[in-house]
Amino acid sequence: IVDTPDPYLVVHIRTAPDGKKATKNIDNEINPEWDEELSYLLPPHEYLPIKAEINLMDANYAVDEKLGSVEFDVSTIPLEETVFKTFSFNEVGLPFVLCRCDQDIRSSLALCTEEKEFRSARKRSAFTAMRNTMVGGPRSLRETPTIAILGSGGGFRAMTGMSGAIKALSDSGILNCATYICGLSGSSWYISLLYANADFPEKGTTAINAEIRNNIASSPFWLLRPECLMRYSHRLHTKMKAGQPVTFTDFFGLLIGQTLLGPDRMETAKLTDFQEKIHGGKAPMPILTCLHVRPDMSAMTFHDWVEFSPFEIGMAKYGTFMKSKYFGSKFFMGVLAKEYEEYPLHFLMGIWGSAFSILFNRLVEKSKGIKPSNMSHNEDMRTILGKEIADSDDEEEYWDASEEEQIRKAEDKLFQDKLLQSREYRAGKILNYMRGIAINRTYPISPFSPLSGGQENTIAEADEFQKIHEPMEVKKKKVHLVDAGLTFNSPYPCILRPQRAVDLIISFDFSGRPQEVCEPFKEILLAEKWARMHHLPFPKIDRTVYETEGLKECYVFQDHSDDRAPIIMHFVLCNILFRKYSKPGVERLPGDTRGDFNIYDPKSPYSTFNFQYPNEAFDRLHELVEFNTLLHIETIKDQIRQCITLRRHSQARCSITLNDIRNSFHMSDKNKKSLERR
């Protein structure tokens, strides 16, 4: 008995992503015609051959048989031409076409078209809001300042504090005046929940604040029961089998999503859903942040800020951005090689707050009654995370294993104690969207800002920001993403981009401090240093103001010698007047002790690593930050008026001048000469 073959072709190009593809098999056919197209993304081939290994296979019930194999150098095909090749096994003929591909990565320092359209619509909304909210509002759109609201990291403390701040800004009308709202770690969780809530922005923040209050009243560690772990394991196996990397951050994202979003909403909520929330400029545009880091280097030494908006995700350092729905998909040389389903919001929340996934063993100990040390988010976390995130090899042998072997290894690594100490699985990990893109140099976030000397003197420690101007490794298949609080705990970089031209920054710092009376400028001083190293206008942070004025709820910093620098309102987490007043100007009744509590006391519930807030603890912190914000609403309005005055009396409210462009070392001599005639 002679078995008629069931032939199919396997074409393998090792230098291409997804380089191994096959046709369908045709049953019982000795002269097959497949009529299929196999597409590959190939690197430039000026110097090296690109070998395609073509195997003719026979499909069998047990083991498929190789009937023949040949190699062909694809780089010999002229561009945009079709070449028909006939190969030796049974005179099989195959056409080859080599053509150019349009990039799916946007390469530019400019804002995307969608954000520009949003800014135009939001400018009109903010103009109306300022006119209705305050005396001395802008007289024209040109006089309308761009306002950004920033929230720091700090776990559930930052999330709860941000809920109080945004409620105060919403009730007072200031939120309607803002163009951007930016978050990091814990604050990014609140912003995500706010924009994922059906009632926002039309009905304000009441519903989501009540929902958060209810969700964090009980410990999330009930989600570590076997039935929950089994469900999470299945999700991670599915992602893993699809070819996407899986780390402990995925698991933590599921845990956070189940706790904060709830089981129903976590199934559907996505970042791109927020586009509808800001359509027509009806709410500030949310920007969330994390860091790209090298696996073998401290985050303080090398990092790239990654920004997430409803429209795009990318890194301004390289001027490369992708549509938000493509985040996590496979790219090669800027072209979308394989599109995966958009990541759910809870996965992004896990990345934005990945510091807590890495310290999960401490949290588990706490849930068992073992009290961890009350560490600062900014000190111990940076030490543990920033210096130890690493993986041994980007080309894991793991992916060459069988499906059963992959699942077994994942189970072993995901749920055993040594995972929590493993370098490989500490950070979030995604496919490298810049893989194969040629990077000869990085470009400044503000490319035309004048250079000034003495920048090396801004580095206080040997490794602090030492290699932030170096490019990333584009040959790696995967990249590591971590909590942005590993550098400084407030998302200034995304809002300091000159393209966003922000006039006023209202920043809420919920960072940990050893004691409440400690100087509250550590994070903003690091932000100032980062800005100076990138030649970005930033007001001088005068530390002596703490010595002369003491601890207070809000500090205002302005550079009177440089109108291009934004005015910064630095709100500090502290409990001063709230002890005596229930509302601004309203003294507490005798016996009312709700305001009598310490935030940074070792026995307080507000540790960075506490993931359970009883209702009373939530209410106290929420109302404290709301009170502190309302206390300075008139100060905020004063600073808005100051920005209006600056715009009114400035010929052009720009972060750069024409002379800056003329003198830029990025400008070619030809372009400089053309500018000299203007």
Query: Which position among 483, 507, 511, 655 bears the catalytic label?
Result: 483
DSSP class of residue 384 equals I
Q: How far apart are the C-alpha atoms of 74 and 81, rounded to whole Å?
A: 12
Distance CA 600, CA 602 (A): 6
Query: Omega before 450 cis (within 30°)?
Result: no
Burial track 263-293 (b if 16+ CB lie within 10 A, e otherwise) = eebbeebbbeebbebbeebebbbbbbbbbbb
Residue 658 parent element (H or E): helix 658-662
How far from the centroid of its chain's Cα atoms is residue 617's Cα?
Answer: 29
Dihedral pair phi/psi, residue 279, rounded to 5° = -60, 135
Pairing of strands 147-151, 180-184: parallel
Please answer whether residues 56 and 90 qualify as being in contact, where contact means their C-beta atoms are separated by less than 8 angstroms.
yes
Range 360-370 burial, b when 16+ CB lie within 10 A, else e: bebbeebeeee
Residue 298 is among the residues annotated as catalytic for this protein: no
Closest CA to 433 of 346, 344, 321, 343: 321
Q: What residue type is assigned to position 376 of the chain?
A: S
Treating both helix axes as pointing N-terminal to C-terminal, what angle do 206-215 and 186-196 enclose, rounded to 10 degrees?
A: 120
Inter-residue contact 100 to 42 (CB < 8 Å)? no
- Residue 185 falls in the annotated catalytic set: yes
Separation of alpha carbons 678 and 673, rounded Å: 9
Nearest to 518 by CA among 543, 490, 541: 543
- Using alpha carbons only, give the angle 128, 623, 582 rounded to the nearest 5 degrees: 100
CB 425 within 8 A of CB 413: yes
What is the pairing mode between strands 504-509 and 147-151? parallel
Catalytic residue among 152, 172, 185, 329: 185
DSSP symbols for 21-70: EEPPP-TT-SS--------------SSS--EEEEEEEE--SSS-EEEEEE
Residue 661 CA to residue 642 CA, distance in Å, equals: 28
What value, to the nearest 5°, has the Cα angle with vertex 387 and ends 381 and 391? 115
> CA 295 → CA 314, 323, 382, 427, distances in Å?
19, 26, 14, 9
| Cβ–Cβ under 8 Å, residues 514 and 414 | no
Q: List, by residue number, the catalytic residues.
A: 185, 483
